[in-house]
Amino acid sequence: MTDSHPRPQRDDTGGRPPGAPRRRGPNALIWRWWNLLLLLPLLMLLTPWYNKDRPRLAGMPFFYWYQLAFVFVGVACVSIVYAATRTPSGAEPSGADPDDPASGRPGAIR
Amino acid sequence: MTGHWTEFTVFAVLFIGVAIMGFMASRWRAGDSMDHLDEWGLGGRQFGGWITWFLVGGDLYTAYTFVAVPALVFGAGALGFYALPYTVVLYPLVFLPVLRLWSVSRAKGYVTPADFVRGRYDSPTLALLIAITGIVATMPYIALQLVGLESVLRTMGINAHGFVGHLPLFIAFLVLALYTYQSGLRAPALIAFVKDGLIYIVIIVAVIYLPAHLGGWSHIFDAAQKKLTTPNPATGKPSGSITLSSTNQLQYATLALGSALALFLYPHSATGILASRGRNVIKKNMIALPAYSFLLGLLALLGYVAIAAGTKPIINNATGKADGNTIVPALFQGQFSGWFAGIAFAAIGIGALVPAAIMSIAAANLWTRNIYKEYLNRGATPKQEAKQAKWASLVVKFGAVAFILFIDPQFSIDLQLIGGVIILQTLPAVAIALYTRWQHSRALIAGWAVGLAWGLYLLYTIPNPANGKLHFGGSALQLGKLSILGWHPFGGSTTQIYVGVVALAANIIIVLVVTLVLRAAKVRDGLDHTVGADYHVDEGDSGLRQVAAD
């Protein structure tokens, strides 16, 4: 199936900076163990774990404050994956927009 | 309209201010020319972190969400809270796929998800099916924004019978249609700042002030439980509870998961993502967007607050029935002074305009790229495409208005459930195809057809005892009634499940089986016009195609 493909214009590995992961196959899939952390928030779908009224927090049943607290679990998981899988500073081509000093630098706030 | 003049004045002033912003938006960060879909339909593919946060937040958390989720909690209790797990599992699930979608779209100049399918499979037929599915699923969603807007108008006393009752809605939508025509995606992007700012202020004030005023959360939940467990005269059963029952836990989880899988398949979500400048903008947004989810969770609880406050829904004079969607507007009207209620109504009203604009743009993009250019005018120039899309956005909006005119709002909510089931059937061809091209394009067509047909059939069989409807009464299927060609795998079970995931499972199984058969028979498949590196391009890469290039 890959034989008939046009050749990639950009080399998949040649321009790969040190520390950046290898891209495999015609789909250039990248395996990162950290990405498994993105499955953790799915635990929120296990309703028997939290389908109860008590203990209440500030008058709010467990069912509700547990799920509101899970918003932060979701944010934490995505944040950790984001931070851990960032390509090393300078590895990605730097920003093309000379007017915007923040562009292209992964840590910069935009 | 009696006694609501303060509310209406505040509402009208904010609404007019936003309309002026909408018309001015065409000059905001303008490119060289508006005569290209990259500019009109994607705002120049240049939005940074903040704009994307407001735009996508304004796009996904709609006016309909703001009125319907609390209304569901008001009526059914804990089940309505599914909106929270839905929007929590959403971002971790889509974090990686949307990055690949952005990159391949940026590399190849794709404007719609169907464009990607066209490039990935070289199959105009499959792309056409994906485009039509997107348009059909989006239309009732736009109509629901009108339901949200109308619930506010009727609460303010603009609640006449028949056609006249809909007239203010038409005027509001006409103004929206005109500035979307002129400014494209820049209009909702700019207005989203106002909408979300107002929404945050209103909700935060409401969840701090109202519980303190009404005797605390503990009292509110106890009052809600007392009312929900009182048997409903129509069915003789309790209407709900503040926790889930043994039969609707699976429904809660599958509704949350199915809705999360569906959301980024909707064309308007993809439009918001593709308009952003780079991968890093999207990644940061996947971390920051749950702020809206937290807000939505608090907002859902206003359904219980309305019970404790003794709020009654407004009678909709067009249908003569109590309209559950007016519960949050009626709560604000009863508990707050006129000017603050006016701000809250403006927040909901403007909250309807932002997603309605983005949805109509997304549907217009689909029409232009995957139907008009593919089948009607193959040699269309970018300028002709932009003109076609502008007109299509008008047609789509008036189609949504016609929906409201002829259909009971209660029925449009069922259409939203159907819309979710429909759009889920594009998952194998769009989301899975971002990772692998193993599945055959004809297998994808077969899976789509089976998933859609079975999903619609299952929805048809679901009755609603509360209002006596025999068909299309909701999206919760009793597992005991699930029949596969006469075989009942879960006979007798009363556990309920969301139809969308059942239909999706059938779709995926068909795709697997048909692909195996076609590959064994060595049936040829089209060329893949994408290459691996396309899925990783980012802003600033050397050799990246120009925005708004041909």
ipTM for the assembly:
0.89
Q: Which of B242, B256, B533 is closest, CB to CB, to A45?
A: B256
Distance to chain B for A82, nearest Cα, Å: 7
Is residue B220 helix, strand or coil?
helix
pLDDT at B92 over 70: yes
Distance to chain A for B78, nearest Cα, Å: 8
Per-residue pLDDT at A99: 38
Contact between chains at B88 and A74 (C-beta distance less than 8 A) = yes
Rounded-to-10 torsion of CA B25, B31, B35, B37:
-80
Contact between chains at A104 and B92 (C-beta distance less than 8 A) = no
**Residue % of chain B over a pLDDT of 70:** 97
Contact between chains at A10 and B525 (C-beta distance less than 8 A) = no
The overall average pLDDT reported for chain B is: 89
**Residue % of chain B over a pLDDT of 90:** 58
- Chain B residues touching A38 at Cβ < 8 A: 92-93, 95-96
Contact between chains at A64 and B528 (C-beta distance less than 8 A) = no
Distance to chain A for B361, nearest Cα, Å: 26
Contact between chains at A41 and B88 (C-beta distance less than 8 A) = yes
A109 Cβ under 8 Å from any chain B Cβ: yes
Distance to chain A for B287, nearest Cα, Å: 5
- Chain B residues touching A95 at Cβ < 8 A: 539-540
Q: Which of A12, A41, A52 is closest, CB to CB, to B92?
A: A41
Contact between chains at A39 and B92 (C-beta distance less than 8 A) = yes
pLDDT in tens, B324-368: 888 999 999 999 998 999 999 999 999 888 999 999 999 999 999
Query: Residue B66: which of B51, B83, B52 has the closest Cα?
Result: B83
- Chain B residues touching A11 at Cβ < 8 A: 533
pLDDT at A40 over 50: yes
Peptide bond preceding A55 in cis form (omega within 30 of 0): yes
Query: For the residues of B294-337, what is the DSSP string, one character each?
Result: HHHHHHHHHHHHHHHTT--PPEETTTTEE-GGGHHHHHHHHHS-
Judged by CB atoms within 8 Å, which residues 86-105 of A form the interface with B? 92-97, 103-104
- Chain B residues touching A59 at Cβ < 8 A: 211, 216-221
pLDDT at A16 over 60: no
Q: Which of B220, B256, B538 is closest, CB to CB, to A92?
A: B538
- State phi, psi for B478 to the nearest 5 degrees: -75, 125
Top residue of A7, A32, A40, A60 to mutate, by most chain B CBs within 10 Å, is: A60
Top residue of B53, B280, B305 to mutate, by most chain A CBs within 10 Å, is: B280
Distance to chain A for B497, nearest Cα, Å: 13
Confidence of residue B3 (pLDDT cuts 50, 70, 90): low
pLDDT in tens, B498-531: 999 999 999 999 999 999 999 999 998 889 999 9
pTM above threshold 0.80: yes
Distances (CA, A) of A20 to A86, A88, B107, B392, B399: 9, 7, 20, 44, 49
Distances (CA, A) of B157 to B175, B302, B331: 21, 22, 14
Per-residue pLDDT at A104: 39
Top residue of A45, A68, A94, A99 to mutate, by most chain B CBs within 10 Å, is: A45
Of all residues in chain B, the one with the smallest CA distance to A105 is B280
pLDDT in tens, B125-143: 999 999 999 999 998 888 8
- Chain A residues touching B535 at Cβ < 8 A: 27-28
Rounded Cα distance between B328 and B312, Å, is: 10
Query: Residue B45: which of B113, B102, B124 has the closest Cα?
Result: B102
Contact between chains at B221 and A28 (C-beta distance less than 8 A) = no
CB B145 within 8 A of CB B64: yes
Per-residue pLDDT at B413: 64
Per-residue pLDDT at A23: 63
Average pLDDT over every residue of B478-482? 84
CB B180 within 8 A of CB B22: yes
Query: Residue B310: which of B331, B280, B294 has the closest Cα?
Result: B331
Distance to chain A for B462, nearest Cα, Å: 24
Distance to chain A for B147, nearest Cα, Å: 28
Rounded Cα distance between B358 and B523, Å, is: 40
Per-residue pLDDT at B500: 93
The residue ranking higher by pLDDT, B365 or B404, is B365
Rounded Cα distance between B382 and B370, Å, is: 14
- Bin B3: left if φ > 0, else alpha if -120 < ψ < 50, else beta: left
Judged by CB atoms within 8 Å, which residues 12-51 of A form the interface with B? 12, 23, 25-30, 35, 38-42, 44-48, 51
